[in-house]
Structure 1
Amino acid sequence: MIFSPQNLPETLIVLSLIVPLIGALGIVLAGRANPNIREAITLLSATATFAAVAGLYGGVAHGQTPTVVLGEMLPHLNIAFTVEPLGMLFALVASFLWIVTSIYAIGYMRGHHEKHQTRFYFYFAVAIAATLAIAFSGNLLTLFVFYEILTLSTFPLVTHSGTQEAKRAGRVYLGVLMGTSMAFFLFAILWTWNAAGTLDFKLGGILEGHVGQGVASVLLVLFVFGIAKAALMPFHRWLPSAMVAPTPVSALLHAVAVVKAGVFSILKISIYVFGLDFLSRLASNEWLQYLAAATILLASLVAMTKDNLKARLAYSTISQLSYIILGAMLANSLGFIGGAMHIAMHAFAKITLFFCAGAILVRTHKTEVSQMRGIGKTMPLTMLAFLLGSLSIIGLPPMGGLWSKWYLALGALEAHQLVFVVVLMASSLLNIAYLLPIPFHAFFSAPAEDAGPSAHEDAPPTASPFRYEAPVAILIALAITVAGSVALFFYPDPIIDLLKPLVMR
């Protein structure tokens, strides 16, 4: 019996998966009749989900791997959930940031007068449930099923506004993500099942001894390209297209769920299907390293050309995701730890930047970087948060992004690939070039001609300098994510200690 004191970890797994769905039902029942109750249900569900996930941390950190099997779809093919260190990290990040994003969404959706708010909160909760199911997936079948559910549950969020542009973006979103998963990901899973006789995740991999290096190289390419949520070029187009969605959805796509589900899946397959030792010997592994490095640089160069703030941040995300793919393909302990750490480090930093973009939109209705000159004089808290989030993306102290880049560089050196250290350094310089001018001009340049009345209005001496800031809920969310990035700089050890058992053997 799952629900018993003797099986607390298993109970917590089930609660982690069903509480968001119960919350989604409550959101629909509350509906438009009482937005306060609807949003209270959202916050309560998010908090309860994080509490259930956090309750699993102690046992997993001490070597436990609790498992729940929901049922058998085919002989020896189960829908099963197992909590291991990598999934534990991803689930903690996703469930905690659901709380923060919900706080933010309350301020944003009301402040921007968005329509269909009940539908938004409903699908957001369903997407979080799918994300946690991916994090806790015990085999490739379970991973694939909920990977697809995540795509379908986020499609209505991408098309939320209902405009022709949103519908077009939704078609690209579904076309790329489901097209690659059906053509490549599913094919790789079936081939793995035929070759290895199992789809269960096993530390050290399940393929070695069952397939040769040539076949494994092809499988690796199929898996990496089939998981297009990781946005590796050339299968990245869906991500900038999806920026037509409301900013809380952008936060979901870039930090909490979708893209992180992609790179998480590649990390998990690398260590549990291939195994790092076998992976390091594959021919395709080396050119995938170079493809990831190329994506890091090319996406950063494209980001520099974008005047639309969300588009610039979208291409930044494409670049940053390939840090994680590079960490996986380095196929050594330091690279893997760096890639896994970057899931958390990038999540807190990038969600901060998207929150800032939404705050600016709510207050000034501006979306272009060129329109934001002088905006720091009227929105100092928002632009300070943007500066700190940018420092984490760049990899500078006192922000957590430093440590994941540090471990990735060490992993590149361990693999005798000095070229990737150079790529990481060049990427940081490009990050500076497309991010830091935004807060610099916000604080030190005269307002743009079309910056809006708040940027030009002279205030009486007694007026608060924060009178033009975004709604309080948005500022609270920003404060939490910035504090999280700082905390990750000073306290990275819990993440490192959690991941070490996967690679230090």
Structure 2
Amino acid sequence: MNPIDPVNPPVPDAVPVLLLMACALLPALLSFVLRAADSRLRDGINIAGALLKLLVVAWLIAGVSQGERYEVRMAFVPGLDLLLRVDALALLLVTLSTFLWLVTTIYAIAYLRGSPDQARFFGFFNLCVTATTGIALSGSLLTFFLFYELLTLSTWPLVVHKGDAKSLAAGRRYLAYTMTGSVALLAGIVWLEGMTGPVEFVRPDALDQVDDWALRAVFVLCVGGLGVKAALVPLHGWLPGAMAAPAPVSALLHAVAVVKAGAFGIVRLIYDVYGSERVAALALGVPLAVLASVTILYGSIRALQQADIKRRLAYSTVSQVAYIVLGASLAGPVAAIGGLTHLVHQGLMKITLFFAAGALAERLGVQTVSQLDGAGRRMPWTVFAFSIGALGMIGVPPVAGFVSKWYLGLGGLAAGQPWVLGVLVLSSLLNAAYFLPLLYRAWFRPPSRTVADAGDGDGDGMRLEVPWQGLILPALVTALCSLAAGLFAALALSPLGWARLIVERFY
């Protein structure tokens, strides 16, 4: 990366930032107004927006790598600016969300074909992507909070999309948790900015003048608010219930939107508001690492107890997202690399699992672990994708999850916290305990009645998939990306390589 001249810095370019936001916002607005008869046009607009956004992201990656600056600053109220800024950390989340938006859109079009209220679904779906992009690009605490709340408001209609009693109950629980978290986060932001003035993500020296106990209290409030969406124990209760939503929503919530927003916010808080040195000096890092470790183990134990496949995956998310928080809280460059890398790797692997689970439910009627018997004979491509995602979550090389866990383990040792290695080993054993039985049942057990009778009356074992179907292809693509992220981790533009570039700025 080329250094920036501190005397004559380049003028920030606003055009690609605005274009990046528009790529999802315009399809959202058009989705709301297009009639049901215009579904093909709506689908085309959504896919075109995602493809255009990928091109803009490539433009930004090339520019940031060369030291270019991209920023939009608009006066919100006197003394407070709405600030969108592109940096390497923002691009990590933006690239993930943009790629997964494309494949999830393709999946959702196939999954929802013929169902009602698609205009509403895709409108809020694209608003959710817009909010996630805004969270990634936020250059200040105020901007982050505004998009953080937009994400809550745009995901609630997706959680309750089915409109049945179970979905509505899940939506009420989701709002109760997230709104409570928002109050805590807002209180922390107002308290901090009341002492320092507006806080931008540049590790301000103004915090040097703030009392240590006040900084600790603000940190606890902000982590509490962000920890709701990150599903840290005991703030995770909304997540398993949100599985009442359609499969594309579950994939979005768990891989790139809500849970990642919380984890990403904690990373920003530690590195761009407080600074890792201050977090360590205030004795905040180790308690947060312990909380993340408890969440990792608790989520794994609860996943092991679930008979419903989607709920098992939900508790797996509780565990896996906490790896990101663990890496950030250990206050060391190697652990930070592991946590940031897992932000991408977990997204690729988890969305693969939800895509595959949704396809199995739609084509075979498989909802529970016992119904999974023999599914690999009827839907081998889908179960293959599910297997890659599961093995990656366990940490089996060369899938991407192994790389994340390796760096987190090394980071724990480098930070003088060897107990982290024990947490990772125990968690991986628990991951194996709740994923391997699923793979064994799908590949090696005789077909269950649910699997044998699906799709035909005589249970003749006919395949119920082809790789290019909208429900199958996205899972295969993200599964292969999970493999590629592990196999080609040494490349500069791999998730691991980009995480190293980010951490150079932190340390």
TM-score normalised by the chain length of structure 2: 0.93
- CA-CA distance at 1:46 after TM superposition: 1.2
Counterpart for residue 488 of structure 1: 485
Q: Deviations over 1:423-466 (max 9, x none)?
A: 01111111111112112111100122343513994549xxxx64
Counterpart for residue 309 of structure 2: 309
1:7–1:481 distance in 2 versus 1, CA, 3 Å: farther
Q: Secondary structure at the match of 2:373?
A: coil
- CA-CA distance at 1:205 after TM superposition: 4.9
1:384–1:205 distance in 2 versus 1, CA, 3 Å: farther
Counterpart for residue 147 of structure 1: 148
- Preserved CA contact (<8 Å) 2:352 2:479: yes
Counterpart for residue 278 of structure 1: 278
Counterpart for residue 4 of structure 2: none
Q: Which amino acid aligns with 2:478?
A: T
Q: Deviations over 1:257-281 (max 9, x none)?
A: 1111110111111100010111112
1:40–1:502 distance in 2 versus 1, CA, 3 Å: closer
Q: Which moved more, 1:494-503 or 1:209-218?
A: 494-503
Counterpart for residue 175 of structure 1: 176
Q: Which moved more, 1:191-200 or 1:170-179?
A: 191-200
Counterpart for residue 67 of structure 1: 71
1:428–1:175 distance in 2 versus 1, CA, 3 Å: same
Counterpart for residue 84 of structure 2: 81
- Preserved CA contact (<8 Å) 1:309 1:369: yes
Counterpart for residue 214 of structure 2: 215
Q: What residue ranges of structure 2 are gaps of 5+ in the alignment? A: 1-9
Partners of 1:218 and 1:501 in 2: CA distance: 31
- CA-CA distance at 1:467 after TM superposition: 3.8
Counterpart for residue 115 of structure 2: 114
Q: Which moved more, 1:131-140 or 1:51-60?
A: 51-60
Q: Deviations over 1:84-134 (max 9, x none)?
A: 111110000001110000111111112xx4321111111111111111010
TM alignment of 1:113-132, pairs within 5 A: 113-132=114-133
2:47 aligned with 1:31: no
Counterpart for residue 367 of structure 1: 367
- Preserved CA contact (<8 Å) 1:220 1:285: no
- Preserved CA contact (<8 Å) 2:156 2:171: yes
- CA-CA distance at 1:185 after TM superposition: 0.4
Q: Secondary structure at the match of 2:161?
A: coil
Counterpart for residue 44 of structure 2: 40
Q: Deviations over 1:332-390 (max 9, x none)?
A: 11111111111100000000000011001110222111111111111111111110011
Q: Which of 89, 96, 105 is equivalent to 1:102?
A: 105
- Preserved CA contact (<8 Å) 2:97 2:257: yes
Counterpart for residue 474 of structure 1: 471
Aligned residues: 491
Partners of 2:460 and 2:170 in 1: CA distance: 42
- CA-CA distance at 1:171 after TM superposition: 0.6
- Preserved CA contact (<8 Å) 1:363 1:470: no
- CA-CA distance at 1:34 after TM superposition: 2.3
- Preserved CA contact (<8 Å) 1:71 1:78: yes
Q: Secondary structure at the match of 1:55?
A: helix
1:410–1:31 distance in 2 versus 1, CA, 3 Å: farther
- Preserved CA contact (<8 Å) 1:192 1:207: no
Q: Secondary structure at the match of 2:40?
A: helix
Partners of 2:206 and 2:484 in 1: CA distance: 39
Partners of 1:411 and 1:270 in 2: CA distance: 16
1:60–1:117 distance in 2 versus 1, CA, 3 Å: same
Q: Which amino acid aligns with 1:129?
A: T
Q: Which amino acid aligns with 2:353?
A: L
Partners of 1:19 and 1:83 in 2: CA distance: 16
- CA-CA distance at 1:155 after TM superposition: 0.5
Q: Secondary structure at the match of 2:448?
A: coil
- CA-CA distance at 1:469 after TM superposition: 5.6
Q: Secondary structure at the match of 1:78?
A: strand
Counterpart for residue 3 of structure 1: none
Q: Secondary structure at the match of 1:81?
A: strand
Counterpart for residue 324 of structure 2: 324
Partners of 2:500 and 2:212 in 1: CA distance: 27
Q: Which amino acid aligns with 1:122?
A: G
Q: Which moved more, 1:192-201 or 1:254-263?
A: 192-201
Counterpart for residue 405 of structure 1: 405
Q: Which amino acid aligns with 2:109?
A: I
TM alignment of 1:230-249, pairs within 5 A: 230-249=230-249
- Preserved CA contact (<8 Å) 2:304 2:434: yes
Q: Which amino acid aligns with 2:487?
A: F
Q: What residue ranges of structure 1 are gaps of 5+ in the alignment? A: 1-5
Partners of 1:211 and 1:114 in 2: CA distance: 55
Q: Secondary structure at the match of 1:446?
A: coil
Partners of 1:164 and 1:446 in 2: CA distance: 35
Q: Which amino acid aligns with 2:112?
A: M
Q: Which moved more, 1:30-39 or 1:326-335?
A: 30-39
Q: Which amino acid aligns with 1:41?
A: I
Q: Secondary structure at the match of 1:264?
A: helix
- CA-CA distance at 1:327 after TM superposition: 0.9
1:385–1:234 distance in 2 versus 1, CA, 3 Å: same
Partners of 2:387 and 2:76 in 1: CA distance: 50
- Preserved CA contact (<8 Å) 1:378 1:455: no
TM alignment of 1:191-206, pairs within 5 A: 191-202=191-202, 204-206=203-205
Q: Which amino acid aligns with 2:245?
A: A
Partners of 2:255 and 2:436 in 1: CA distance: 20
- CA-CA distance at 1:500 after TM superposition: 3.3
1:335–1:64 distance in 2 versus 1, CA, 3 Å: farther
TM-score normalised by the chain length of structure 1: 0.93
